[in-house]
A and B are shown apart, each in its own frame.
Chain A
Amino acid sequence: EVQLVESGGGLVQPGRSLKLSCAASGFTFSNYYMAWVRQAPKKGLEWVATISTSGSRTYYPDSVKGRFTISRDNAKSSLYLQMNSLKSEDTATYYCARLERYNWMDAWGQGASVTVSS
């Protein structure tokens, strides 16, 4: 069974950093592109970052580019999201997702809640 389990969420002050982790199991992690998607309270979904199988290619929307860094450790079947210079508008539930054939998100974690507030 495919499982994605996020961790590392919490309350953080504006301007500070936080690192999320996603532990994958039930599939060959190194064969899949992976992504982070967030959802602000009572809002829609927003794509945050994508990483290639080896980690050599990463993609971000303008809203987080330069502040967030996606990375992975294939030996540990783990995905990460380093979030720096956090803003109140980064408050959201952050989901990790598996990309089938580099494109559609066919498996999702349960989400990690991040609150940016003083």
Chain B
Amino acid sequence: DIQMTQSPSFLSASVGDRVTINCKASQNINKYLDWYQQKHGEAPKLLIYNTNNLQTGIPSRFSGSGSGTDYTLTISSLQPEDVATYFCLQHSSRWTFGGGTKLELK
């Protein structure tokens, strides 16, 4: 089974900051990596699929990159509405979520 290690678990940043969240797979997942945003009390929402493809309707300040075992979600300029928990998901072999990153405003 593929394991996903997400870091950091908690992140505090200011409005306008550039924020990066990382996921490391236990083996090569060939860019089959997605990112989800979950606001408090809500269902997860797809942000990015297959490493760097922005889902329809998602602001362009969100972007993804990576290859092999290492992947990154970047928020170029943090906005108040971005406060949420973020999860990565690999779908190279079955499906495995990362542990999540809780993002708060400083």
Give me the interface of A with B, judged by CB distance under 8 Å: 35, 37, 44-47, 50, 59, 61-62, 95, 100, 103-111
Contact = CB atoms under 8 A, between A and B. Distances in A.
Nearest to B43: A108
B94 A109 contact: no
Interface string B28-65: 00001010101000011110011000010000000000
Taking chain A's interface residues, is the majority helix, strand, or loop, or is none over half, making it mixed?
A: strand
Contacts of B94: 47, 50, 59, 61
What class of interface size applies to chain B in its complex with A? 20 to 34
Contacts of B55: 106
Contacts of B36: 45, 105
Contact of A104 (B91, B98, B100): B91
Given A44-B100, A45-B97, A104 B34 contact: yes
Interface string B74-96: 00000000000001010100111
Interface of B: 1, 32, 34, 36, 38, 43-46, 49-50, 55, 87, 89, 91, 94-100
B43 A109 contact: yes
Contacts, number: 55
Contact of A44 (B50, B87, B91): B87
Contact of A108 (B34, B45, B50): B45
A50 B96 CA distance: 12
A46 B95 CA distance: 9
Nearest to B35: A104
A104 B43 contact: no
A105 B45 CA distance: 9
